[in-house]
Amino acid sequence: MNAYARAAQNYSSMKVQSSAMDASPHRLIQMLFEGALERIAQAKGAMQQNQVARKGELIGKAINIVAGLQGSLSDKEGGQLSENLDDLYDYIIRALTEANYKNSLERLDECGRLLGELKSAWDGIADQAR
């Protein structure tokens, strides 16, 4: 199973399966960003409400989505950009793990901000293609 398929499978379990299956590769990446951001926001709420198990579950789902994004990168096609994104996704995964371990709202906010910036850039690509 390729990275796109694994990412779609992870996301589909959290959202409506049919929309992920019908999505273009570009839209699928947008959906993955949306899913990760949603899980981070939910984890933040769970953290604030001291729902430890729920927080861990949601952060784990966000990590899986980011890992799916990371796995979809292509060194052959992406070159230096792909390497930079790989490093950034790795950083986000480590920061999410730390946020879970240390109950750090600040680290969750940082991850949300970074993913939000990436999503905005990805959305801009779609806007330019129209």
Q: Which tens digit of pLDDT belongs to each residue from 38-80?
A: 999 999 999 999 999 999 999 999 999 999 999 988 777 778 8
The angle formed by the CA atoms of residues 88, 52 and 101, to the nearest 5 degrees, is 40
Q: According to the model, what pLDDT value does residue 66 have?
A: 97
Predicted confidence (pLDDT) at residue 15 exceeds the cutoff of 80 = no
Q: What is the mean pLDDT of the chain?
A: 87
Give the Cβ contact number of residue 74 at 10 Å.
Answer: 9
Tokens read off for 34: 């949306």
Q: Rounded distance, CA 118 to CA 88, Å?
A: 10
Across 112-121, average pLDDT: 96
* Total count of residues recorded for the chain: 130
Predicted confidence (pLDDT) at residue 29 exceeds the cutoff of 70 = yes
